[in-house]
Amino acid sequence: MSSPAQIETREAVAEIGDKYKYGFVTDIEMDMAPKGLSEDTVRFISAKKGEPEWMLEWRLAAFRRWLTMKEPKWARVHYPQIDYQDSYYYAAPKNTPLKQSLDEVDPKLLETYKKLGIPLNEQMALAGVAVDAVFDSVSVATTFKEKLNEAGVIFCPISEAIRDYPELVKKYLGTVVPVTDNFFATLNSAVFSDGTFVYVPKGVRCPMELSTYFRINASETGQFERTIIVADEGSYVSYLEGCTAPKRDVNQLHAAVVELVALDHAEIKYSTVQNWYPGDENGKGGIYNFVTKRGDCRGDHSKISWTQVETGSAITWKYPSCILRGDHSVGEFYSIAIANHFQQADTGTKMIHLGANTKSRIISKGISAGKAQNTYRGLVSVYGKAKNARNYTQCDSLLIGGACGAHTVPYIESRNPTARIEHEATTSKIAEDQLFYCLQRGIPQDEAVSLIVNGFCKEVLQQLPMEFAVEAQKLVGISLEGSVG
């Protein structure tokens, strides 16, 4: 049955496997692909994951496509040219040696955990300290899994899904964000190392909030995550990504792809709290967060809601979007983007109204401090068949200090005269009299800034699941510490 090409692939994989064996197995800490990006790298990753051939072919097709593509330059962000051959595309962080005690962990990191109010056991888990003795994460994960199994919900690492549910993965992978979508999405398609797969069957209301938090030990997320969430007819799922703990990633580029599919009468709520390393006060280091997230309201009366709290990363390039294909479908985007010091954020959403009576709502709160630049970039597009489409957009910017910038770039396209599109935008500063009032009542400066900014962001924070709203509030404060001189 095997074609010559497939045989060749297998041989190539075997060969790389051997290389790997000699080069790396002796030293577990170095569980990495060879530096650089080539078809071999792609094969290496696929082999590491024990993937079927169709998956490898899919990756290789993406890689070949990527070679013909150019990095997008339209965002209002500036960074030195990335050398894609100077990176590692596969590093298994699982094998990083566990630290024996918290004494070995960067005290700055622990300070942040403490401020976030993360319990000690979890602090240890997040910082990569051996926690088996004190924190039985395995049992937590097990009870969790049993409950989901009962409901018929699939929630697993995507590499596991490719193995165990190939038909489901094939049916949805790349159908929302096509392989050819954009430079970073195509790169992700070629080299994604892991991510999450969720399938909620017909009529099922997922019995709990799903979160990567719970599987922190089960499967560490890599640089190039690929996440697919499918809500079948009449189902509901709420998913939270990120665990609000700073991840000091040594690698610079983070290019994830998230695809959501909501069928008839289904609803997906996707919340992100992003707190990647933003670089230091002088703009050194930090993550480039170039992420493609898109939801497809494929069925009638379906709903997809994005909520994001973006406080980290040196550069954020991210536009979680909704394709409102089904009639009466609803898309929502609630965003808080905080940029301090030298951070640059270019973020927003796209609401593509294809179906009739579709509705979208965009609430964006941008906060700039230090020398940061914060851009809201959004597109509301109403197609010819989307009669009675409705959109409401509200973009508020808050400036702290005089050296930062806020920009709003809304694009609106309407090809249907019955559409109604509303756009409101405001820009304000934290007023000196507000700060003085707080100080006079005994509230120290940093706490006052946090209070005022949290008030400014309230409409978005309210959208977060309760337990994460509290952490997000604290995070807002922490990320702006010292922003008023």
Helix, strand, coil: what percent of the chain each, to 5? 30, 30, 40
Q: Report how many residues bind other proteins under the rule CB under 8 A.
A: 23
Q: Give the sign of the dihedral formed by CA 318, CA 320, CA 325, CA 328.
A: negative
Q: Segment near other proteins (CB under 8 A), from 103-111, 259-267, 384-392, 436-444?
A: 436-444
Binder among 67, 248, 437, 482 for other proteins (CB under 8 A): 437
Binder among 68, 101, 143, 440 for other proteins (CB under 8 A): 440
Query: Which residues from 269-288 bind other proteins, rule CB under 8 A?
Result: none
Smallest distance from the beta carbon of 434 to other proteins, in angstroms? 5
Bridge partners, residue 198, by sequence = 155, 229
Dist. CA 336–CA 366, nearest whole Å: 6
Binder among 50, 458, 467, 482 for other proteins (CB under 8 A): 458
Q: Which amino acid is it at 385?
A: K
Q: Judged by CB under 8 A, does residue 167 bind other proteins?
A: no
CA distances to 181, 184, 302, 376, 478 from 72, in Å: 11, 9, 31, 17, 32
What is the C-alpha end-to-end distance of the chain, expressed in Å?
Answer: 70
Q: Judged by CB under 8 A, does residue 447 bind other proteins?
A: yes
Dist. CA 394–CA 347, nearest whole Å: 14
Q: Judged by CB under 8 A, does residue 457 bind other proteins?
A: yes
Q: With H, G, I as helix, E, B as strand and everything else as coil, classify residue 67.
A: helix
**Which residue's CB is nearer to other proteins, number 138 or number 439?**
439
Q: With H, G, I as helix, E, B as strand and everything else as coil, classify residue 82.
A: coil
Q: Judged by CB under 8 A, does residue 309 bind other proteins?
A: no
Smallest distance from the beta carbon of 290 to other proteins, in angstroms? 31
Binder among 83, 146, 432, 466 for other proteins (CB under 8 A): 432
Binder among 399, 456, 464, 483 for other proteins (CB under 8 A): 456
Binder among 434, 465, 469, 474 for other proteins (CB under 8 A): 434
Phi/psi for 259 (5° steps) reads -120, 130
Q: Judged by CB under 8 A, does residue 84 bind other proteins?
A: no
Smallest distance from the beta carbon of 231 to other proteins, in angstroms? 32
Tokens of 346: 């270019």
**Which residue's CB is nearer to other proteins, number 138 or number 431?**
431
Smallest distance from the beta carbon of 437 to other proteins, in angstroms? 4
Dist. CA 447–CA 430, nearest whole Å: 13
Look at residues 303, 238, 207, 310 and name the one whose alpha carbon lies nearest to residue 264: 303
**Which residue's CB is nearer to other proteins, number 356 or number 363?**
363
**Which residue's CB is nearer to other proteins, number 459 or number 467?**
459
Q: Judged by CB under 8 A, does residue 469 bind other proteins?
A: no
Q: Judged by CB under 8 A, does residue 427 bind other proteins?
A: no
Q: Strands, E, within 39-165: which ranges?
A: 154-157
Dist. CA 20–CA 82, nearest whole Å: 26
Q: Judged by CB under 8 A, does residue 455 bind other proteins?
A: yes
Q: Judged by CB under 8 A, does residue 442 bind other proteins?
A: yes
| β-pairing verdict for 344-353 and 373-382 | parallel
Dist. CA 429–CA 443, nearest whole Å: 19
Smallest distance from the beta carbon of 473 to other proteins, in angstroms? 11
Residues making contact with other proteins (CB under 8 A): 431-434, 436-445, 447, 451-452, 454-459
